[in-house]
Amino acid sequence: MNYASAIQTTGQIALPAWRSRLLFVLLLAGLATLLVRAIYLQGFHDDFLQQKGDARYGRVVELHAHRGMITDRHGEPLAVSTPVESVWASPQDVKASTPQIIRLAKIVGLSPEEVKSRLNAPREFVYIKRQLPPEQAGKAISLGIPGISLQREYRRYYPGGEVTSHLIGFTDLDDNGQEGIELSMQNLLGGKSGSQQVIKDRRGFIVEDVASLRAPKAGSDIALSIDSRIQSVAFREIKQAVENNRAKAGSIVVLDAKTGEVLALANWPSFNPNNREKPSTALIRNRTVTDLFEPGSTMKPFTVAAALETGKVRPGTVIDTSGGVLMLNGRKIHDTHPERALTVAQVIQKSSNVGTAKIALGMSPEVFWRSLSDNGFGSQTGCEFPGEAAGKLRDYRKWRPIEQATMSYGNGISVNLLQLARAYTVFANDGELMPVTLLKQQTPASGVRVYSEDTARKVRDMLEMVVRPGGTAPLAQITGYRVAGKTGTAHKLENGKYVDRYVSSFIGMAPASDPQLIVAVMIDEPGGTLYYGGQVAAPTFGNVMGSALQLLNVPYDAPLDNVMQAPDEIVREEV
């Protein structure tokens, strides 16, 4: 019977037996292959499936570390971190209607277009809005949009605002320091972030915290040397001085004369670090350490100290001031108050340029340079504040006589205000130069001897004459305290030429019998009719120093009627 007759007889198709057996074998082989593959993937090579599962249902979330707190020397907070929530999304999991997007945008303070743009980003993780208050972030989550979650972060808050902004600085959105102490102490304050693995459901919601892969490590707290009470006074007074004198800017530093600790440091104009809009560079730079200026007559005490130390002069040595005029290499040095002769002490009291120049020229360039260098001029203070300028002190081997003469009264040399304040510790500590620091010190600081005790005390006595009637700064007197200090008034240098714009300064210490504090004031470009240091900077010194001494309960060292009436016309210094 053939194949056709078989069909006709039975009415059915009869397949050869070998074909059915082959089909069975093939099906059995396929099942065996699948079984082996399943065993291989799940028993010996499960990484692949694990990765795919994690990609669909798992995610590693960063855990931000709590940033360390910054306090003043008494524990008052200057920078603290408060918990906030950031709204983030996994774009591939987000399923949101247009009304939901509009409501979400309104809650987080963005436009609907911005929210859509972020949700359409070709990434697995995007921020919708960072650092929101927990209540506001909670409203965003309550919309129930799949794929949108919260992440705990911390936002920096500065209780002092603009009062401490130049000192403390600020952080960025990722809580990394950008300026000031926040930047210089980043390694200590920042801590280390951690991470946590979480599981999402099929709608994109986080349903379980699986494990902490790495616990976050909180940053360390830092106690600064700053006294918040004195800082507030210093800020208020420098702001007032700039505004009263219509000046471009102003800076002030208050030092503990015995330890070199910075008790206050302020500038005006200032900025509010709590405003997340980044201010201009001109506003955020800390002028006390970044801005250089020619110190003018505040350098004269160092010239005299060097000469006293070498034995070239004594306080009573008479200097021929030639009627207030000195011609040197075709250049004229002159005084506004011409005198035929002045003692060394009177040279300081009346701020004679001619007298100071003659004293300087009586020393070798190397000796004079060494004295200035030993006082820290031309090098950084060591406070490690970001962006500190070292100042300029030229090599003595390149000096000409006219340069040595002008440098003696503060022209041709540049300093920052903190550097200048530090240098005056040599007179407050009987010849020892103290290190400066912005951190609270637990152990007494040790200084470096620059001058003998006798030299330092003689210069301090001369500086007391400056604030008495007949000196350049009677407006720096303080009720109940003896004061020693020096005025400075210098033309500003622009394009290699001195112009009729000024930097006015006063650096002083009190009580002069045993100095506890040093206050340095600098007013940049006073715009009124008054511009001498004794007129615009000395009164600010007096206000800050007087308040600070009272706050620290420093005993009086003078009668309460010690302040003598300043003359209508104070002695002015030529610049």
| Interstrand relation of 331-334 and 58-63 (parallel, antiparallel or unpaired) | unpaired
Q: Are 459 and 400 in contact (CB under 8 A)?
A: no
DSSP state of 399: -
Provide the sign of the torsion angle of the four alpha carbons 308, 314, 318, 324, taken in this order.
positive
Query: What are the contacts of 93-97 at 24+ separation with CB within 8 A?
Result: 93/146, 93/147, 93/200, 93/203, 93/204, 94/119, 94/145, 94/146, 94/147, 94/148, 94/204, 95/145, 95/146, 95/147, 95/203, 95/204, 96/145, 96/146, 96/148
Active site residue 297: yes
| Interstrand relation of 484-494 and 497-510 (parallel, antiparallel or unpaired) | antiparallel
- Find, among 57, 46, 70, 241, the residue nearest to 158 by Cα: 70
The amino acid that residue 388 corresponds to is E
- Find, among 269, 272, 271, 238, the residue nearest to 253 by Cα: 238
Question: Which secondary structure element, helix H or strand E, spans residue 522, and what is its range?
Answer: strand 517-524
Radius of gyration over every alpha carbon of the chain, rounded to an integer in angstroms? 37
Angle between helices 453-466 and 300-310 (to 10 degrees): 140
Burial class (CB in 10 A: 0-12, 13-18, 19+), 40: exposed
Q: Are 267 and 527 in contact (CB under 8 A)?
A: no
Catalytic residue among 81, 297, 414, 504: 297
CA distance 442 to 4: 112
CA distance 348 to 342: 10
User: Prior bond to 269 cis, omega within 30?
Assistant: yes
The residue assigned the tokens 């600098």 is 522
- Find, among 466, 360, 344, 339, the residue nearest to 406 by Cα: 360
Give the Cα-Cα-Cα angle 394, 392, 500 (nearest 5 degrees). 110
CA distance 103 to 109: 10
Q: Are 257 and 515 in contact (CB under 8 A)?
A: yes
Q: Are 226 and 167 in contact (CB under 8 A)?
A: yes
3-state helix, strand, coil in the chain (%, to 5): 40, 25, 40
Tally the residues of the chain.
575
Q: Give the chain's largest Cα–Cα span.
A: 152
The amino acid that residue 430 corresponds to is D
Query: Which residues are known to be catalytic?
Result: 297
